[in-house]
Chain A
């Protein structure tokens, strides 16, 4: 991308100045898949891009709707666009040198292995409970070498303090309050959805930081 304001080297130096060169290099080399570009995924993507994660793979089949704007990182001008295209556009403005690849497809049990072949860490960012369970079961069963970060429970108006991160399996982390179901609670508000997304994003960064330190 043509950029007359700042060169890639200048921007990388600025990011590295905030977190240290060694950590920045780890983040730059990381490959993270984000499954769903809604309230969780769009926020996770922006947090990871700002942190200097070098390679994001965003998968979503949906289009931007007006009802998304209360919590998802899109603009009125993007209504009707494919979410993956709108998010790539926004990421390019925020962090132009982040390598973003997109797939506008529905993730199913049958395409999990081929979709995530090149990714090290998989972030589940769906909204449906059954879809979440399908993806988590498929990744844990078929791709045990991948790290997996998922989310469950962020609906309603409960305290922000109830959103947390829990280590469930060897390479599986779950974020949320684990109980607030959108089918039972009254709706989804930006702060709690974003908090949950930020728990996911921070879990991803900690995995990157830890994984490379262990030499894996």
Chain B
């Protein structure tokens, strides 16, 4: 299982890009960290979530 924003999800083996698409994230607004390390945008297609990864997907909203 992969922990995403604190919730256990069955997404091991799925790419960051596929996960974001399946969950309706707007890629231009997100920051993805896996085990406290940033995943660069150009690795979204190639980075596959691994079992026991701890993932933070920050989806920014406007206002300031």
Contacts and interface: CB of A to CB of B under 8 A. Distances in A.
Contacts of B64: 36, 38-41, 125-127, 132, 151, 154, 188, 193, 196
Contacts of B58: 133, 136, 152, 168, 174, 178
Contacts of B41: 137
A155 interface: yes
Contacts of A125: 64
A183 B63 CA distance: 8
Nearest to A156: B63
Contact of B63 (A130, A150, A168, A182): A182
B33 A169 contact: yes
Contacts of A39: 63-64
Residue from B33, B37, B40, B58 whose CB has the most chain A CB atoms within 10 Å:
B58
B63 A181 contact: yes
A141 B62 contact: no
B16 to A, nearest CB: 13
Interface residues of B, number: 17
| Interface range on chain A (Cβ under 8 Å from partner) | 35 or more
A213 interface: no
B34 to A, nearest CB: 10
Contacts of B36: 169-170
A169 B28 contact: no
A152 B61 contact: yes
Contacts of B1: none
Contacts of A174: 58
Given A168-B56, A178-B61, A130 B40 contact: no
Interface string B23-36: 00000111101001
A102 B31 CA distance: 27
Interface string B4-48: 000000000000000000000000111101001110110000000
Given A168-B58, A169-B36, A169-B37, A133 B63 contact: no
A94 interface: no
A140 interface: yes
Interface string A141-179: 100100000111111000000000000111010101011
14 contacts: A40-B64, A127-B62, A133-B29, A133-B31, A133-B58, A136-B60, A137-B38, A140-B38, A153-B61, A155-B61, A168-B56, A169-B36, A176-B61, A182-B63
Q: Which 9 A-B pairs have the closest CB atoms?
A: A182-B63, A127-B64, A181-B61, A140-B38, A155-B63, A129-B60, A132-B60, A182-B62, A129-B62
